[in-house]
Amino acid sequence: MRCHLIDYLPQIGGQLSEIYPKKPIYDIPGYPTVLAQDLINNLKQQIDPFHPAFTLGERVESLEKRDERDFVLTTNMGTQLQAKVVVIAGGLGCFEPRKPAVKGLEDFENGKGVNYMILDPEAYRNKRMVLAGGGDSALDWTIYLAEIAEEVTLIHRSETFRGAPDSVNKVFQLAESGKIKLVLNSNLSSVQGNGHLHGVSYENSKTKEVHTVETDYLVPLFGLSPKLGPIEQWGLNIDKNAIAVNTDDYSTNIPGIYAIGDINTYTNKLKLILCGFHEAALMSHSAYKYINPGIKYTMKYTTVNGINEF
């Protein structure tokens, strides 16, 4: 089968490349540990012999079923693709970072000091940084960047963190040893700069005192708001922001449309990469049968068949 991948992001790799490319993953079979971006690079190398095609930086807006085995997808840029089967692997949907309500923040977006994701921690080497948030992402990056950045300040609105207890302990230890500055019970109140960010102010929610810290970067890590976006309008059965599927083959209520990975839901669903791989395998076999009615397909191991390059 020939496969064409469309993604709104400018690169392949979904959450792994966009949110945590440099984080080690420990639960991929066969890899005791692997950096998220390395896993994506390896997967890309593995699919290369099949010459998949890519449309990147475009969002699928509409999905029309014209007939059996005849779908048309249209992107926000007007690109149209025709397909016999559609597999939605839309993850959290087209995700947008949750932004704090701070006036003028947008003036420093797009390379001027305010980032909502850390793509390459090396970009912050020897820089002054303010991170904000209380979840795993804020904690993990604070720990990681403490070794790289010149100065790290973590601002959190409360005294308790939502992240893993181990990470919380590490962050408190780093603060005690003076490696980072930890500001609790405080909210971001304003940003200052001239073309590029150079200061961030925060207000203590108890004392109402306002302090300012000089910084090169502000990274608010308040999570992503999962939005299915256009996918909601395609006539699929949606259950709690996800697509309901039949676990026999991860098909949806519309014959010829499948949903795999984080975007689907079923009893005991686990949002894990491993589960996405399994779902993709069952989906592929079912998709082959749907595309080729009447043709008998016998599964052969790759150790027997090798790779049939296109």
Ligand X SMILES: Cc1cc2nc3c(=O)[nH]c(=O)nc-3n(C[C@H](O)[C@H](O)[C@H](O)COP(=O)(O)OP(=O)(O)OC[C@H]3O[C@@H](n4cnc5c(N)ncnc54)[C@H](O)[C@@H]3O)c2cc1C
Q: In angstroms, what is the minimal distance from the CB of 121 to ligand X?
A: 14
Closer Cβ to ligand X, 143 or 183, answer by number: 143
Amino acid at 235: G
Compute the distance between CA of residue 251 and CA of residue 241 in angstroms, rounded to an integer.
17
Contact residues for 38 (Cβ-Cβ < 8 A; gap 6+):
none
Q: In angstroms, what is the minimal distance from the CB of 200 to ligand X?
A: 24
Q: In angstroms, what is the minimal distance from the CB of 166 to ligand X?
A: 15
Compute the distance between CA of residue 71 and CA of residue 58 in angstroms, rounded to an integer.
18
Closer Cβ to ligand X, 9 or 213, answer by number: 9
Closer Cβ to ligand X, 93 or 134, answer by number: 93
Q: In angstroms, what is the minimal distance from the CB of 202 to ligand X?
A: 25
The closest of 115, 148, 119, 92 to 36, measured between CA atoms, is 119
Compute the distance between CA of residue 238 and CA of residue 265 in angstroms, rounded to an integer.
9
Beta-strand relationship, 34-35 and 24-25: antiparallel
Closer Cβ to ligand X, 20 or 116, answer by number: 20
**CB-CB contact of 157 with 185 (8 Å):** yes
Angstrom CA distances, 35 to 129, 184, 292, stand at 24, 31, 38
Q: In angstroms, what is the minimal distance from the CB of 9 to ligand X?
A: 4
- Dmax over CA atoms of the chain, in Å, equals 74
Q: Indicate the residue whose CB is closest to ligand X.
A: 91
Closer Cβ to ligand X, 25 or 213, answer by number: 25
Q: In angstroms, what is the minimal distance from the CB of 86 to ligand X?
A: 11
Residues within the interface to ligand X (CB under 6 A): 6-9, 14-16, 19-20, 25, 27, 59-60, 89-94, 137, 229-231, 261-263, 271-274, 276
Q: In angstroms, what is the minimal distance from the CB of 81 to ligand X?
A: 11
Cite the DSSP H helix spans in 124-185.
Answer: 136-145, 165-176
Closer Cβ to ligand X, 204 or 277, answer by number: 277
Query: How many CB atoms are closer than 10 A to CB 155?
Result: 25
Closer Cβ to ligand X, 133 or 261, answer by number: 261
DSSP β-bridge partners for residue 190: 201
224 SS3 class: strand
Query: How many CB atoms are closer than 10 A to CB 19?
Result: 19
